[in-house]
Every structure is written in C-alpha cells, then in structure tokens.
C-alpha cells in the first residue's frame, strides 16, 4: 500500500508534513488548495479514516499511524479555534 505525505500550512504560517498510509488522500486534497479550518478538519478526518479502512481491508487491522496523524492535526487545529476565519492551505500532496 503506497503511503504518501501531504504538507499543510496553518493560519500562523507554520507548516506540517502529514502522513497517510494510502493515496486516497489525493481524492480529498490537492496541492495549492485552501479551505476553512472546519472544512479541513472534516475532510482530513474522512480521508484518514478511509486510508485506515483500506489498511484494515488489506491487512485485517486499522492503521494506528493514520489515527495518530488525525489526532495531531486536531490538537494543533485547536490552537486556532478563536482565530478569525482560519484557513488551511494544502502546500503539496506527494
């Protein structure tokens, strides 16, 4: 199963490289895309749950790395809850 990384830029300008165990993330994110934080969180949860589901289907167990990544994303996103119209940019998907 080909794993990929996607780089995101947070509202404060910092960037994080995020992991997905499956290319399914490409169905949800594309390089240069920008979206409101709430939409990003919803999309990231959908994409990473789908990726973990693909791992489970193939290997019989879910991907803890995908769930860890989702937890990390949610934790960092909480820092921007009070920001005015926070947006996330998808810098790259590779």
Structure tokens at 43: 């999309």
pLDDT score, position 26:
97
pTM reported for the whole predicted model: 0.93
Q: How confident is the model at residue 1 (pLDDT cuts 50, 70, 90)?
A: low
Q: How many domains does the chain have?
A: 1
Task: Centre a 10 Å sphere on the Cβ of residue 59 and count the other Cβ atoms it contains.
Answer: 11
CA distance 62 to 81: 29
Tell me the residue range of the domain where 8 lies.
4-80+88-93
**Average confidence score pLDDT of the chain:** 96
pLDDT score, position 2:
87
Structure tokens at 91: 């810098």
Give pLDDT tens digits for 34-55.
Answer: 999 999 999 999 999 999 999 9
pLDDT above 80 for 90: yes
């Amino acid at each position: 199963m080909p794993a990929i990384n996607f780089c995101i830029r947070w509202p404060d300008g910092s960037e994080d490289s995020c992991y997905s165990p499956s290319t399914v993330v490409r169905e949800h994110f594309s390089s240069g895309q920008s979206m409101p934080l709430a939409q990003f969180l919803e999309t990231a949860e959908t994409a990473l749950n789908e990726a973990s589901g693909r791992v489970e289907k193939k290997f019989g167990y879910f991907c803890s790395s995908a769930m860890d990544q989702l937890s990390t994303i949610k934790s960092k996103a909480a820092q921007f809850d009070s920001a005015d119209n926070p947006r996330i940019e998808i810098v790259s998907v590779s």
